[in-house]
């Protein structure tokens, strides 16, 4: 079964057949249950190792550059583990008219963010940094998300029920807000969830060549 590995198995397992053999054990450096689920559903075997990191959004950066800078900041903490493993770090940012929306501090801040993007089109950027014994690199994926106009009481009810304070832009596309509020997306759905899994799959596949 794919998912969190306890025995050091390498690669991707699909229906008990090995489709990709990775040259080193895989580590997901994230506490996000959504990233863990996406990586496991793609068939990867991996371990989770998490270190404290400063996720402060750097000032004066474009949304893409800010996401990449934070992902790179994270991956630099795992230089020791990258000597013998493939380590994956990621950071997701929501941007509206070049204004970066990080994680909401409280319910009022969440409402402010949701009202800002309500009925509008915004961007979700996930930057992924990968370090392994032969080096490190990063990439980013941007998805456009267009929302329906929801009532303020609906936004407040969502915040009360789901407490989306651990999500960039104060919403989860896989939750009620995504089911009721998203009109269309242009790009990767899993990128909005928190990890552009198809792009990541092929980046890791290139390491196995």
**Domains observed in the chain:** 3-208 (3.90.950.10)
Q: What pLDDT was estimated at residue 19? A: 67
Average pLDDT over residues 23-30: 95
Q: Are 64 and 127 in contact (CB under 8 A)?
A: yes
Task: Please tell me whether the overall predicted TM-score, pTM, comes out greater than 0.85 for this model.
Answer: yes
Q: What pLDDT was estimated at residue 14? A: 57
Q: What pLDDT was estimated at residue 6? A: 41
Q: What pLDDT was estimated at residue 7? A: 43
Examine the pLDDT at 1 and tell me if it is beyond 60. Answer: no
Average pLDDT over residues 3-9: 49
Nearest to 188 by CA among 74, 54, 66, 90: 90
Examine the pLDDT at 96 and tell me if it is beyond 90. Answer: yes
Q: Are 170 and 101 in contact (CB under 8 A)?
A: yes
Is the backbone of residue 194 left (phi > 0), alpha (psi -120 to 50) or beta? left
Question: Beta 17-20 vs 45-48: how paired, if at all?
Answer: unpaired
Average pLDDT over residues 7-27: 70
Q: What pLDDT was estimated at residue 18? A: 55
- Using alpha carbons only, give the angle 174, 180, 186 rounded to the nearest 5 degrees: 65
The reply to whether 166 belongs to the active site is no
Confidence of residue 181 (pLDDT cuts 50, 70, 90): very high
Q: Out of 9, 72, 91, 108, pick the active-site residue.
A: 91
* All residues at 6 or more sequence positions from 140 whose CB lies less than 8 Å from its CB, including other chains: 64, 67, 68, 125, 126, 127, 128
Tens digit of each residue's pLDDT (9 = 90 or more) over 27-36? 999 999 999 9
Q: What are phi and psi of 122, to 5 degrees?
A: -130, 175
Confidence of residue 68 (pLDDT cuts 50, 70, 90): very high
């Amino acid at each position: 079964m794919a998912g969190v590995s306890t025995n050091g198995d390498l690669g991707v397992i699909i229906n008990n057949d090995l489709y990709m053999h990775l040259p080193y054990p895989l580590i997901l450096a994230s506490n996000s249950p959504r990233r863990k689920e996406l990586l496991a559903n793609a068939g990867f075997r991996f371990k989770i190792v998490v270190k404290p990191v400063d996720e402060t959004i750097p000032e004066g950066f474009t949304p893409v550059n800010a996401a990449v800078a934070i992902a790179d900041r994270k991956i630099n903490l795992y230089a020791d583990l990258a000597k013998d493993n493939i380590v994956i770090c990621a950071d997701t940012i929501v941007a509206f008219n070049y204004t970066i929306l990080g994680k909401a501090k409280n319910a009022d801040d969440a409402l402010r963010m949701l009202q800002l993007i309500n009925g509008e089109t915004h961007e979700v950027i996930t930057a992924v940094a990968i370090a392994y014994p032969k080096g490190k690199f990063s990439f980013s994926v941007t998805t456009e998300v267009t929302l329906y106009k929801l009532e303020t009481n609906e936004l407040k009810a969502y915040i009360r029920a789901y407490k989306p304070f651990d999500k960039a832009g104060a919403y989860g596309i896989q939750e009620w807000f995504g089911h009721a509020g998203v009109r269309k997306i242009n790009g990767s759905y899993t990128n909005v969830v928190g990890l552009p899994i198809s792009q990541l799959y092929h980046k890791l596949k290139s390491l196995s060549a």
